[in-house]
Amino acid sequence: MFGSIGMPELIIIFVIALIIFGPRKLPELGRSLGKSLAEFKRASNELRSTLEEEIRLDEQKANLDAAKAAAAAQAAATPAPPAPIHAVSDSAAVNQPAAVSQKVDHPA
């Protein structure tokens, strides 16, 4: 039950506690000890659940980061589709004459 503490040891501990604290104070000590153990158990369960939640969130974040990295790698690996010919605006440059400044030497 308590590891290496057996029934005779528990009886000796109980008798010593009864002698030290007396019969009136012993039930009160037992209640306070029980409340303390219950509070400790509740706090340890809360800590455990908080740690598990943090681990789960970290795993989800790592999976999301890995998915983003894989999508970026896939996007970098696939070549971009060629631009359509009609989208290129080279025709505007062909239709408009270039402004050429010519220096003309006039004999005076």
Write out pLDDT tens, residues 74-83: 888 776 666 6
68: closest CA among 78, 80, 60? 60
pLDDT at 45: 96
Choice among 36-40, 54-58, 66-70, 98-102 with the minimum mean pLDDT: 98-102
Sequence ranges of the domains in the chain:
44-76
Choice among 13-17, 70-74, 99-103 with the minimum mean pLDDT: 99-103
| Sign of the dihedral defined by the CA atoms of residues 70, 73, 79, 80, in that order | positive
Write out pLDDT tens, residues 1-48: 556 888 889 899 889 988 888 888 888 988 998 999 999 999 999 999
Spatial distance between the Cα atoms of 79 and 55, rounded to a whole number of angstroms: 38
Spatial distance between the Cα atoms of 48 and 56, rounded to a whole number of angstroms: 12
The phi, psi pair for 80, rounded to 5°, reads -75, 145
